[in-house]
Structure 1
Amino acid sequence: MSLITSVLVRGINNLSDARYCAGMGADYLTFNLDPALPNHLAPEAVKELGGWVAGIKLVGEFSTLPAAEINAIARDCGLSYVLLTRIRPKEELAGLELPVLQLMNWIPDMLPEDVDMRFKQLKGHVAGFVLPTIPPQPLTGVQLAHLTEQARTYSIWLAAGFATGKLRDLLNTVQPAGIVLEGGDEIKPGLRDFSEMEAVFEELED
């Protein structure tokens, strides 16, 4: 399936999700590879899941592991990117061998200049920013305008829930680098409810 924007799916932990998302046109599949993260997977499991999908960039999500361990796991699993759940010093970022995506939380009451500072401090050290947290309230006109400005300067992936109406309208206005979806658990091996995810993929179909 051809999509109108890039899609990154976090938290892949089963073959059903991996094959479904790959077949629907997702570009990035993210796996929790840090023991500090919930439902983390062993590198062997990620290599097995990755072997079932082709043409997809595999991303490892990490929290507290040091750069040297992240690099070793990334090489072992054949990752294309690492996704960091916490902001690290520039020295640590420089020690990572793969391009870095940085997880950022949407904080509605932050001052615009403070939000911009978070991006500016990391620009040049990360390949993009992933905002998977859905705003608790619909974006105001000012917030939407500010987010649009940010997306012109930085590569930003937004949760599909940022759209309160049609997802295509959000994409046309903000023009983010892509959309973030969340994987889930199988009901039982080989059985998974994809209804919510399918609705988003249908909206993104070219």
Structure 2
Amino acid sequence: MALKHTVKLSNVNNLSDARYGAGMGVALMGFHLDSDSPLSTEKYAEITSWVSGPEFVAEFEHPETNRILEIISLCKPDYIQITNAQFLKELSHIDIPIILKWQLNKIQTVPQHTGVSYLLLEDDQSDNLSTAQKEKIKSLSADYPILLGAGISASNVESLFEELPLAGIALKGGDEIRAGYKDYDELADILELLEED
């Protein structure tokens, strides 16, 4: 299956999500790998060995330089995702593209010209984007390829791509109900709308 737009599936922690996302054609697949993450490097290796297609993203909510370098060495991700722009200078010597994740409610404070591969805008509290947020996204798109991870639903995903200069969207994986069992209704509704004809 191929999708019309780039989709990142974030916070993958089980094989069910990974195989579903790959089968649906997501381009980027993210795994939370902070030092306190329940997902071990061994589990990451196990999951990713069963999946082909997406590029893998090591996601860090509380980045520590030593941990990031350890993950790069052990897991060899295609991308690193961080939430703190101050780490960009420390990581400038690594030869891996970086995704900078930023909270949508702090969109006015996004730093300029950081050279990251994507700016991921997320907000767990936002169901809809405000007019001001949309205007700021349009402005930021001059400096960044934008991945939108907020305010997305099956009812508006197509119109968001028409209205905003997005590089793609980010959806979230999550825990299985029980081993091998997961409800994909919401994900499926969005991804099916993005299938190429």
Q: Would you say same fold, with TM above 0.5?
A: yes
How far 1:42 moved relative to its partner? Answer: 1.0
Aligned to 1:33: 33
**Counterpart mapping for 1:49-198 below 5 A:** 49-107=47-105, 115=108, 118-120=110-112, 122-124=113-115, 126-134=116-124, 136=126, 138-159=128-149, 161-162=151-152, 165-198=155-188
Aligned-residue Cα RMSD (Å) equals: 2.2
Question: Is the CA contact (8 Å cut-off) linking 1:155 and 1:176 kept in structure 2?
Answer: yes
Question: Is the CA contact (8 Å cut-off) linking 2:10 and 2:30 kept in structure 1?
Answer: yes
Structure 2 distance, partners of 1:147, 1:153, is: 10
Question: Stretches of 4+ moved more than 4 A in 1?
Answer: 162-165
1:10 aligned onto 2:6? no
Structure 1 distance, partners of 2:162, 2:83, is: 28
Structure 2 distance, partners of 1:192, 1:58, is: 21
Q: How many equivalent residue pairs?
A: 196
Structure 2 distance, partners of 1:12, 1:90, is: 24
After superposition, the C-alpha distances for 1:68-99 in whole angstroms (9 at most, x for unaligned) are 43123123212100111233244313143411
SS at structure 1 position matched to 2:103: coil
User: In percent, how many aligned pairs have the same letter?
Assistant: 31
Question: Is the CA contact (8 Å cut-off) linking 1:85 and 1:103 kept in structure 2?
Answer: yes
The one-letter code of the counterpart of 1:45 is K
Gap regions ≥5 residues in structure 2: none
After superposition, the C-alpha distances for 1:22-57 in whole angstroms (9 at most, x for unaligned) are 000001111111124xx5311111011000111211
Instruction: Point out the structure with the larger helix share.
Output: 1
Gap regions ≥5 residues in structure 1: none
Question: Is the CA contact (8 Å cut-off) linking 1:12 and 1:183 kept in structure 2?
Answer: yes
* TM-score, structure 1 as length reference: 0.85
Structure 2 distance, partners of 1:178, 1:77, is: 25
Question: Is the CA contact (8 Å cut-off) linking 2:63 and 2:82 kept in structure 1?
Answer: no
Structure 1 distance, partners of 2:69, 2:31, is: 15
